[in-house]
Structure 1
Amino acid sequence: MGRGSKGKQKGAVAVTVALSMIFLLGFGAMAIDIGNLLVARNQLQNAADAAALAGAGCLKPRAECSNTTAAQPDFTTAAATASTFSTSSSTNTVQGSVVQASTVATGYWNATGTPYGIEALPFTPGANDLPAVQVTINKDGSNANGAVPVFLGAVLGANILKASAVATAVLSSPGNVGPGGLFPLAMSQCLFNTYWDSVADAPKTSPTSGTVSGFNYPQVAGQPYIFQIGSSYQYGTCQSGQWTTFDVNNNSASYARTLLTSGNSTTFSVGGSPGTWIQTGEENTLFNNTATCSAAGNGQCAWVTVPVVADPGTSGFQPVVAFACLHILNASNGSLPYVLVQMTNDMSHCETPNSGGVGPSYGAYTPPRLVQ
C-alpha cells in the first residue's frame, strides 16, 4: 500500500475521532444538564409544596396567622402567607438562590376529583369541595427566578433550560381520626348544636361579661360560651356527655383513665360501625383526673378533639357523628360532676393529629395536606 493511502486513512481516522468527540461531548452535556434540570425540578417542587402547605394552614382561624376573627375560609391571609413563604430567604432556595417570584391561586378542590383541578373564586362549594391554596413556581427565564443554567448543553445549541412546579394543598374537617387523636369524652350532638354557630362555622360567643342567664359560670364578652358537660345521669341530653372507651366494651373507670392520656388506639370514622363505646355510670374519678390535665391543671388535655354522638345517655356502641374541638378549662367531681369547656376552632389547637378524610365542620381540622 502506498504512502498516499496511509495518509488518507490517518486523515479519515482524525475526522472520525473529532466527530466522535463532539458526539460524546454532546452526550456528556445532556447527562450533566438533564441531571441538573432534574435537581432544579425537585427543588422547585419542594419549595412549591412547602409554600402551599403554609398557606393552607391559614385558611381557618389560627393565632400564628393573626386571623382568629377572620371569616372562613380566609383566602386572603392564606394567599399572602403562601406568597411570603415561597419567596422567603429562610425557607426556600433553588440551586442556591432564593425564589424571587411565585404565583398563588385560591379556590376549592373537589375531594372526589370531579372535576379535577382548582375551582377559581367566586365558587359555591359542595360537600366535597375543600378550600385550597395553589402555588406555581417557574424557573424558565420568564421572571426574576431566571432559567435553569446550562453547563455543556451549548454544544448542542441549548442556551437555557426550563423547569416549573405546581402544588395544591387543602384543609378539611376530619372524616377519620387515627390512634392518639381523640379524648375519651363523647358529647351529644344536641349539646354541640347549642353552642356552635353553623352559619358562621364558629363557636357562639357571649354578648356580655359576668353572669349570663342560663349559665352557671361567669362569661367573657366576645369569647365562646363557657359551659358544663355532665353525665346523662345528672344532665339533660342537650347538656350531656359520657366517657367512652372507644373500640373496647369496658365500663371500668380504671381503664377509661388510661385513655385520658393515650387516646384511641384504633382509627375512628364518621358513621363507621360499630362506633364508639359509651360507658355506664358517672365515673366520678375521671372528672378528677380531667381537672388535673385541664387548663387549670397541667394543661395536657387543655385542647382536645372528642367524638360527637347522637345520644350519650344510651350505653353501648354508637356511631360517631363528627369530631369536635374543645378547650377544657377545668372539671369537678362534686354532687353534679362536670367538665368545664368552651367550643373552639382555632387551628393552633384544633389541628387533630393522625386525622384525614372529609367530615362535618365541628371545629376540628385535619393537618393541611397536598392533593397535587
Structure 2
Amino acid sequence: MDTDDKIASSNKNKGFVVVWFVVLLPVVLLFAAMAMDFSYMYVAKGQLQNAADAAALAGAAMLIRDDGLEPTADDEAAARDKAAQFALANKSAGQNIIIDKSSDITFGYWDNHYTSGGSPINAIQVRAARDTASAGGQVPIIFGRLFGWDKMGAAAIATAAIPARATSSIALCPDFCQGGIPSGLKEFTPPVLMDTGPSTPSVNIYAWTSYDSNVTSTSDVRDLICSQNNISKTACGETIYSSMGAQANSLCNLESQMYNPYFDSGNKDTITIANGVNTPGWWMVVPITQSCPPGAQGNAWDPKPIIGYASIHVMAICTKGCGSGSIKAPCSSLYSAPSNVCNSIATKYGFKTSEIHNKMIIDKYQCVDCDSSGSFFPARRVVLVQE
C-alpha cells in the first residue's frame, strides 16, 4: 500500500470515529444525566425515610398510656400532630416535608406484620412523599428536562410499634402473688415448682395463653413461642385466652428459649445453685388473670380478663422427653437445661428428681395491679419495625 492509500484509509477511519461519536454522544449524555438524577433522587428518598422514621417514632410515643389501656381518639389525634411536627422538621431535596395527617398516617396492630385498622392499636405507620399527591409535589431534577421530564416522585414508609409488656406465653392467677397485689419483690424459699396439672395448688399453677387468639389447637401456643411472636394484647382489663392443658411441647420450646444465650439476653442473669454450678436465670413479665385457676382445664381455652402483671425469676425449666414420642422437638434443639442444673436444684432443696420433670422453677417474683402498672413498666419504649 502506497502513502496515498494509507492517508485515504486513515481519513476513512477518522470519518467512522466521528460518525460513531455523533451517534453515541446523546446516548452517553442520557445515561450520565440519568445517573446524576437518580443519585439525586436516592438522596431525596433517604431524606424522606429519615423523616418517616422520626415521625413514626414520635407518633408512637404518644400512643403509650400509663394505665396500659388501648389508645383513645384523643391519643391518636395527639400522635398525628406529633408525627406531622417531626416530619416537617426534616427536608427532602431542600424542601420541608409536609405529610397529610389524615391520609399519610394510619394506626393499627403489629404482630410480625402491620395491619392497618387492626385492634388493639399498638402501632402507627407514616408515609412521607414527594409526589403529585403530596403538598411538596414531585422533586425537580436537573438533567432529565433535557430529555422531556423535569420531575420525579419518591416516597418512604415507616412503622413504629409499642413492644409487648408481657414477654412469655404463660399466665398466672392472683393466688400466686402471696400477700396480695401489688407486692414488693419477694423470694420463694424453697423455690416453687410450677405446673399446669389440675391437682396443683393454685400458688404453683400456671396456664398457657394465646393472648387475644381463641385458638383451637394446643400446638398454636407452641407455634407462637417458636415464632417469637411479639404479642401485644396484654393491657389491663382486656381478655386473654388461657388453658391448663398438658402441653409439654410448649414447655420444651420455652426451655430452649431460656437456655438460648441470644434470646432476650437483656432479661437474663447468672445464678449459682450449688457446688459451683452456674445457670442462667430469666426474668419474665406475665399477665395475672382475674380468677383461679388461670386457665381452663384440659385442652379448652378460657377467656379471662387481665388484672395485673407479675415479674417472675425463673431458675430453671426442666423438661423430659422433648423430641420423643408424641412430644415434638423444640424450635431449636441446640439449647436445653444442662442435666447438672436440674439435679443440683433437686439436691439443694430436697426435691425428688422425678418432681422437677416438666416443671418451671421460680425463686423470686413481684406483682403489680393495673393502677401501679405504670411504675412497674417505667421504660415503655417504641421501636421501628419491618414488614
Smaller-chain TM-score range? Answer: 0.3 to 0.5
The TM-score, its normalising length taken from structure 1, stands at 0.48
The TM-score, its normalising length taken from structure 2, stands at 0.46
